[in-house]
Structure formats: C-alpha cells, structure tokens
A and B are shown apart, each in its own frame.
Chain A
Amino acid sequence: MKLALLLFFAAAAVCACTLLLLILRARERRLLAAAARAAYSDAPDGIGISVLCSGVTDPAQLENLLSSEYSRYEVVAVFDSRRQTAEFRALAARYRMIRVEWAPTGELEVAGVRALGRSRKRCFRRLVLVDRAFDGAAGDFDAAAAVATYDYLLPVGAGQYLVPGAVERLVAELGSEPPGTLDLVRSHLGEPAVLLSREALIAAGGFGMRPLREIPRGRRRTLWEPLLAPPEAGRHVPRRWLLLPALSLAVAFGLSVAAGWWTAAAAVVTAALVWTAAACASRAVSGTARSGLRRFIPIRRVFRYY
C-alpha cells in the first residue's frame, strides 16, 4: 500500500514538474516571437486565420475578437436572428453590415442559412455575419467554415476571449514550418484553443465528425501557452486568502515529520510541490502567481473538443 502511494506521489510530482518545464520553454518561444515583429507587420506567406464564432452574443467579446491587427484575419459570427433578434439587429447596425448572396460551396453540408452579411469595407472589413437557424454548435461552425476566406480556422464559443498577441503567435507557429505541413495547432491552457486547417476539416466532413482524430501526429503542434482565456472580471483571489492553506500545509508537514508519519508527510509535500509548480506556471503564463490550477487549466473544459 505504502509503495503504491509513494509511486502515485512521485508520478504526480513528475507530471507537475514536466508541465512546468513545458510551460517555461513555451514562454521563451512566446517572448522570442513577440520580439520578432515579423508577424505583426506582414502576413508571411499569405497565412490567414478565420475565427468562427457560435453563441457569441456579447458585444465586448466580439470587439475583443475583432481587435487583432493582423492583416489576413476575419471573424465569422453565426447568429439565429429569430432567437437573438435584438442582438442581431444591434450588431448589423453597429458594423453596418451589407447583405450579400449566400450560395453553398458544397464542401460541407450546411443547412438553415437564411442570410449572409459582410461589414462595410471602409468601416470594418473583417466581420462576416451568418444568419442561421440554430441546431447545435457543430452546425454553426460548419456554416461559418463554409464562408470563411482563409485556410486556418479557429472555433470560438461564448466567453472565450483572445489573449493579446494570440493570432500573431499562431501565425508565427504556422509560418515557421513549410506551407501546408501543419493541420492542427492547439493549446490546453486557459480556454482550450484548436486551430484547424480547412482541408483537414473538409476531409473529416465537418465539426460534427470529430475532425481532430483524423489528423496524423506529425501534422499537429501543441503550444503550452494560453491563446484564449475567460474574461478577467470576478476571478481575482486576494493574496492573503492563499496564506491560510499555505500555512495549513506547512503545519501539517511539520507535525507529520515530527510524529514520523512519513506517508502523510510525502502526501503534504507533494501537494505543496504541485501547488508551487502551478503558481510558477501561472507566473510564466500570465505574469501573476496568484491563481493556482483553477485559472489556467480548467480540466473540465479541456476534453470538450475531443
């Protein structure tokens, strides 16, 4: 029993340290890419990214998604004008949408599209609005992919905000390899993000067909840094609240060592190591050490796309 517990603690400690190392390496890459500036001023090799939105009704989130300065970038938002009439009208007025023709391209099976609109070129040229009867997020994403212009697609749901520089970071990752060699770039940190190549999606038959499973490992890339994040409001934990569990861990460790309960001591010190590694990773990712596991690894959501 004790040996099994020891192995479990050791595995947990090794996992925490490995994750920390991966995140620290990714931080160095991110800093280098941010300093390189190439992706900020150009669209290297014509790499373009289309953000596909389903269920995004918050104007602040849409503003955030549209805020990227990258040149070959667009946001395709899918709305159901009958269910979300007020939001749809407000959006169409805010961005002065021009209604254009919707003709299915035949690449993906898309049903229920009522209208298609593009924002006026001189006003705001990167928003495409699809009016479609809602029948699930996968159908919305397929409809958005059918009208997307660019070769890489980033599906985004409600409450997922772009981290500053995320689009440029994705472009830098795609641009560092020969064209067409990457089909999937994903990140598990923050809100899980999946950037898919259009061809991989069409080969799989759409978002409803679990497209990620078909992509060979050699054409995938994992970034250990957040690309999408939940909104900041209401998530700050005062630092003094963290003192109590930290003190409890220290006291429990001291007592168990003094009493010679080494299994308990190993459990407590493993918990402390995992927490400290999470705080270090949090500092490396976001620049603050306050959060711990909850903020940057929402485990429940990680497997949503798989």
Chain B
Amino acid sequence: MTERLLIAYTLLTALATAALLGALCASELQARRRCGRDAVLGSRYLRILMLYLLSGEGPVPRFPMIRRAGARRLLAETVAGLTGVTYGLDTAPLRRVVSAYGLDRWLLGRVRRTFGCRRARNLMLLARMPLDGAVAARAARYVRSRNRRVRFQALMVQLAADPSAALRLMAEYPAPFSACEVGEILILLRRGMLPIAYGPLVESPCRNLRIVGLSIVRQFGIEEAEPQLLRIVAGDEVPELGREALYTLCALRRPLTRRRVSRRLAVMSSAERKALMRYMAAEGYSPGLLRRLFDARRERSYCESLVQSYKRSLA
C-alpha cells in the first residue's frame, strides 16, 4: 500500500515539476520578448500615435505586427500612457484608434476572464483609455465586486467615462475610500478630468465626498475653506473626518488657537495628540502656539523638545 502511495506521489510531483518548468520557460520567453520586440514596438506605436495626434484627422493609422501575441496589450498601454502624460489632449483621434482596433472590447474580455488584482489591473488600464459610456456601463457591474481593488477600479472606469456624474458616482460607492483611493481620484482631478468644486464636497453629509473635498483643500492650499474646516473639526459625527480637517488646517499653516480646535484636541487620544505635535513641529509652528494648545506639563515638555530638535541655541 505504501509502495503504491509512493508511486502515485512520485508521478504527481513529477507532473507538477514539469508543469512548473513549462511555466518558467514560458515566462522566460515572455520576458525576453518584452525586453526585445516589445521595447522596439512600443516606441514605434508611440511615434505613430503622436504623428496621428499631430495630424488630427484622416484614417486610423496601421500599427505593425498588431496581430502578434501581446501587441494589442502594448497598444492599449501606449494609448493609456499617452493619455496619462498629456494635458489638454483632444481624445477624439485616440478614441477612433481604440474603437478601430477594439481595444476596449478586448480589455473588457480580459477583465471578464481574470480575477483579483489582475482584473483590477485590466480595469485600471481601461480607465486610462478614452472610453464611451457603453463600455463604462458594461464595467459598472464590477462596482459590486467583493474585491475592494476591483470595485474601486470599476468606479475609476465610470469616472473617466462620465466625469459629469462624478459626485453621484462617488456618493453611491458602497465602501469608504481609503487614503490611496482618494490619492488616485485626486490624480484625475489634477489632470482636469474632474471639477475642483470643493464647496459641495466639504459640505456634503456623505463621508466619501467629504474626505475627497478635504484632500482637494489640502492639495490646492485653499485657505478660503477655513470656516468649513473649523466646522468639521468641531463636529462630532465622524472622528476621522475631524482629525483629517485638523491636519488640513495644519497643512495650510492656519492659526490653531481656536476654541473648536481645543475641543477636538481634548477628545483625541494621547498618541494622536503626540502625532499631531510632531506634524506641527515639522510644519514649522512656533513653540508658543504649541504651549498654548497643549496644556498638560508632560505634553508641553514633549512639544518643546520636539521644536528644539529643529533649532540651534547660539546664546
């Protein structure tokens, strides 16, 4: 019996080893192709696309070796990369290229056949291409995915396809945005694809919209938002938002000797207060202000030593 088990185990393991060796060889060949053919082809595709963008009209250009393995993905990556680094771009010629070569349909097929992070990567590539509403509608079902990354990239596809519905899409998103997700939305915003109307966002009762609004205020240094920030700092609904608003005030280097700020500091934990002190010391706030904000003797000595560690006493 043991002998039979050993034979079965040996055969199974030999098969698994052969399969792994095959996969290793395939990935080696793919890596060689990427280093050689794809590098040359990528630069040629980019050149053709840029010439087509310069001419602005005419028939869709032909891309060499487009039917070869991996070439369509390369073209999709080139289009997405070009869209990502060009400002004020007329996307109509690129949209013609995408629809003539069926890149959007092809990527949707890849999204359907893959799972997890690979699906999220395909959705991310799709979001960076010039798309029409139909493709975004077909990607909408992934917003309800159980995988957080897939869910968010599906939202990005919808935002890229229809920026005018950004507020509604973000408000309807079923999960709270993480810091990195807000960072990705802000990249769209900085590229001019989303409106920078921080007012409705900061005033909104929706947590996701508020957090995006606060990030806009911090990124663009909008000092006019101070009253709204102070209102959020004083509010008791979501402590995370109050903390974020307080850090935004610090990033704007606004005066913090306000009653609302003191009230927020009183409900923060000791660790959170120390983290804020370190942030303020690095931002260049004066020791006098820190002394007024933090009352306890222990905290006062902590913040004084922090500020001193940025200075040299000459006397």
Interface residues of A (CB under 8 A from B): 2-3, 6, 9-10, 13, 17, 20, 25, 28-29, 31-32, 35-39, 41-42, 44-47, 98-107, 116, 118, 147, 149-151, 171-172, 174-179, 198-199, 253, 257, 262-263, 265-266, 269-270, 272-273, 276-277, 279-280, 283, 287, 289
Chain B's nearest CB lies how many Å from the CB of A203? 9
For A273, list chain B residues within 8 Å (CB): 13, 16-17, 20
B117 adjacent to chain A (CB < 8 Å): yes
B165 adjacent to chain A (CB < 8 Å): no
What does the 1/0 interface line of B105-116 toward A look like (CB < 8 Å)? 000000000001
For B279, list chain A residues within 8 Å (CB): 46
Q: Can you give 29 A-B contacts (C-beta < 8 A)? A: A17-B16, A32-B124, A35-B121, A36-B184, A37-B187, A39-B183, A44-B182, A45-B179, A98-B312, A99-B312, A100-B311, A101-B313, A105-B306, A106-B298, A106-B305, A107-B274, A116-B309, A118-B310, A151-B278, A172-B180, A174-B179, A175-B183, A177-B178, A257-B10, A272-B13, A273-B13, A276-B17, A277-B20, A283-B28
Closest to A101 in B: B308
Chain B's nearest CB lies how many Å from the CB of A281? 10
B14 adjacent to chain A (CB < 8 Å): yes
B1-27 at interface with A (beta carbon < 8 Å) = 2-3, 5-7, 9-10, 13-14, 16-17, 20-21, 23-24, 27
Closest to B7 in A: A262
Query: Are the CB atoms of A280 and B24 closer together than 8 Å?
Result: yes
Query: Are the CB atoms of A289 and B28 closer together than 8 Å?
Result: yes
B312's partner among A25, A101, A280 (CB-CB below 8 A) is: A101
For B176, list chain A residues within 8 Å (CB): 178
B186 adjacent to chain A (CB < 8 Å): yes
B271 adjacent to chain A (CB < 8 Å): yes
With A28-B117, A105-B306 given, is the CB distance from A176 to B180 under 8 Å? Answer: yes
Bound complex: CA of A273 vs CA of B219, how far in Å? Answer: 51
Query: Are the CB atoms of A28 and B183 closer together than 8 Å?
Result: no
For B23, list chain A residues within 8 Å (CB): 280
Closest to A199 in B: B271
With A32-B121, A116-B309, A279-B24 given, is the CB distance from A38 to B183 under 8 Å? Answer: yes
B90 adjacent to chain A (CB < 8 Å): no
Closest to B125 in A: A35
B151-172 at interface with A (beta carbon < 8 Å) = none
With A28-B118, A42-B186, A175-B180 given, is the CB distance from A266 to B13 under 8 Å? Answer: yes
Chain A's nearest CB lies how many Å from the CB of B145? 14
B282 adjacent to chain A (CB < 8 Å): yes
A38-B183, A149-B278, A277-B20 given; name 10 further pairs at CB < 8 Å: A2-B2, A6-B5, A31-B117, A37-B187, A38-B181, A45-B182, A104-B305, A149-B282, A178-B176, A276-B20
Chain A's nearest CB lies how many Å from the CB of B10? 5
For B309, list chain A residues within 8 Å (CB): 100-103, 116, 147
Chain A's nearest CB lies how many Å from the CB of B101? 21
Chain A's nearest CB lies how many Å from the CB of B175? 11
Bound complex: CA of A185 vs CA of B149, how far in Å? Answer: 19
B180-198 at interface with A (beta carbon < 8 Å) = 180-184, 186-187
Query: Are the CB atoms of A276 and B21 closer together than 8 Å?
Result: yes
For A178, list chain B residues within 8 Å (CB): 176, 178, 240
